[in-house]
Chains A and B, each alone.
Chain A
Amino acid sequence: MYKRLNVLLIEDDAIEVMKLNRTISKLQLNHTITEANNGSDALKVLNETEELPDIILLDLNMPKINGIEFLSIIKRSEKLKHIPTVILTTSSHKKDLLECYKIGVSGYVLKPLKYDDYVLKIEKVLAYWSINQLIEF
């Protein structure tokens, strides 16, 4: 039984947002995507929502509050630190990778160039998290 996931996507690039939405519909998955354009928007969403997301997909390079800053903030929050957070980024910079795992991430996925490869990766990530026992908020 696959669980229907409530996904928070934090991404400033409009096409990247479209890409995830399109991938979900292409794969005929019924997960819900909540979008936030940057870290501060995402914090607003998390503070206002009644239902916390099951997982967070997080881009690193963003204006205002960048991915790593956002990550540090939620990991310091008693309310939010349990949410599995998967990094979705172009940065293969070792420094970023180490920093993210140090703060605490559930996954680090490199965005591939090719759309087809992207679809495959997203399919696997979502499939993995939808078979996980997640915390009901």
Chain B
Amino acid sequence: MKGIVFTEFLDLVEHKFGLEMVDKIIEQSKLDSQGVYTAIGTYEFSEMLQLLQHLSRNTGISIDNLLLVYAEHFFSVLKDSYPDLLNIYTDPIEMIASIENHIHVEVRKIYPDAELPTFEIEERTEQSLIMIYKSSRAMHYFGLGLMNKTFEHFNASASIVLEKIKDDGTEVKFIITKN
């Protein structure tokens, strides 16, 4: 997993819960990296999983909700770092529908070894989109957070319903309806 996901995550934890919480979840986890992360490095996904689990346990907030909040924060990181990527879109549905064919393609140009989820489009209209999320990471709430922020970015809102196809969350149907 790309280092920026860890550094931004720990920054957010420090911002919301203080440096003690950062230190706590690192100390509680068994990390090969010893909690030393740089944005340009690459680290095991299992480390992120441990950090999330310990944060959830310490704060009483579910992992899904943590991911949701983190994703909303991460969207602003993306917006600041890659404004051009967002500027070419005028509509949130259009942008979300092009994750697979455009955004991920661009991501791979910068990070050839990035492991990305897949978003298959099942149905698309002007106002709605149905996609199937597939990833062994089961980080569908991360996706949900990014999508919420996407609508917000375009001054729009949507109701997004998640239906788990697999119980472990590795395959989830996103039903997005623009308000």
Q: CB atoms of A and B under 8 A apart anywhere in the complex?
A: no
A interface residues with partner B (beta carbon < 8 Å): none
